[in-house]
Structure 1
């Protein structure tokens, strides 16, 4: 039988087995989503969308798992960890791109050279990096907040309502922040609106399709950790990493 935890002090004393592994997985997905595919627009079967949505929603799935199993405070800590990891990766990519290349390495590649190819892949514009970091942080925080509040309000029932409801809110915030900040004035307004709308719908649908997987992961982790966390006395400020 799961141990229901509502007191922050009691939760702090509990020893978790897999929290750190879920944290690492979330950070990896956030970093890869920020570096790979953030600026690419793809078209498949007539649908135009940002390529990053194929993998980035997995961070929201793990965010739901974190909040449901470990509580809002620990999910918030992971969000901050992912934010700083993504910021470091972006800064590292910008620094390495800016270093003057060695002549022996900077060979011709078709009509260009290795440095320009490298810069095309890793030299993200500061505007895109800033937009991505802000959007990821805000969206994930909203997702965790809604998930935790809905769990308390529902008494822990209907997990699917919490996962989908929190995604609708979190992905909405993420989409509304990222694309205008990153691409307004660069893309046409028509393309911007199209990508925002299709990405938002696809990300929510993707989360809904992954609901059975979320159920299995949540149930397994709760069984292993032997807890069911309710954030009744949690401090919900987003500006801390304490739990």
Structure 2
């Protein structure tokens, strides 16, 4: 009989919510002087924090299922926005242009988001799980930050390169990549004490601290292990 957990569903729901809200907020480019990035960057780093908690407490196998759930949800949301945008509006509704500007996601943006999310999240989860084995469960800060540095580098680089290459000046392309990467990793580092506290609390509550000693790390395998 599979073990039941008190808080796995909550962490899963928060992870998927952060992902979907971030995708919508990404339609706006924000300029905070020191940083220039899409609006989703304000929230998206939390998905990596939740991903760290999932892998650290419940293991790579369960984290893999949640990553796939997030991917399927993001694809469904994007397709819904595009289909609704393509449908003819009623004559007395004058917001079609505004809808298309905010929610009319282009196939290129959707593709960039899916590829970046898939590669970045799985890299983050894989590295954290492997580092946990290597460190024998010690130095959580090193595992969460180290895995995020790699995952966010792949995520940010792929998304910006696929989504905007050829559409914006190269200087802005570089600024977007650097600003996004520095900000996202900075949030992870800043939230490390809170990540420690919640992760240790979850381990006590769930009586689980999974080590992926015999895990199949194939991202396309949907079993728990």
* TM-score grouping bracket, smaller chain normalisation: over 0.9
Residue 4 (structure 1) aligns with: none
Runs of at least 5 residues in structure 1 that lack an aligned partner in the other structure: 1-11, 107-113
Stretch of structure 1 that moved more, 42-51 or 199-208: 42-51
Are positions 1:239 and 2:220 aligned together? yes
TM-score (norm 1): 0.89
Task: Give matches, 1:182-221, under 5 Å.
Answer: 182-221=163-202
**1:32 offset after TM fit, Å?**
1.3
Q: Is the Cα–Cα contact under 8 Å of residues 22 and 39 in structure 2 kept in the other structure?
A: no
Distance across 1 between alignment mates of 2:183 and 2:34: 14
Larger radius of gyration: 1
Number of aligned residue pairs: 224
Residue 125 (structure 1) aligns with: 106
Distance across 2 between alignment mates of 1:145 and 1:158: 17
Are positions 1:56 and 2:31 aligned together? no
Q: Is the Cα–Cα contact under 8 Å of residues 52 and 128 in structure 2 kept in the other structure?
A: yes
Distance across 1 between alignment mates of 2:35 and 2:134: 37
Residue 77 (structure 1) aligns with: 65
Q: Is the Cα–Cα contact under 8 Å of residues 35 and 183 in structure 2 kept in the other structure?
A: no
Residue number among 58, 75, 78 corresponding to 1:87 in the alignment: 75
Residue 11 (structure 2) aligns with: 22
Distance across 2 between alignment mates of 1:44 and 1:175: 18
Runs of at least 5 residues in structure 2 that lack an aligned partner in the other structure: none
RMSD (Å), alpha carbons: 1.1
Give the 4+ runs in structure 1 shifted more than 6 A.
none
**How far does the alpha carbon of each residue in 1:21-65 deviate from its partner, in whole angstroms, 9 at most, with x for none?**
11111111111112222x432111343222221100000000000
**How far does the alpha carbon of each residue in 1:163-210 deviate from its partner, in whole angstroms, 9 at most, with x for none?**
100000100110121111000000111100111011111111110001
Q: Secondary structure at the match of 2:31?
A: strand
The structure that is strand-richer by fraction is: 1
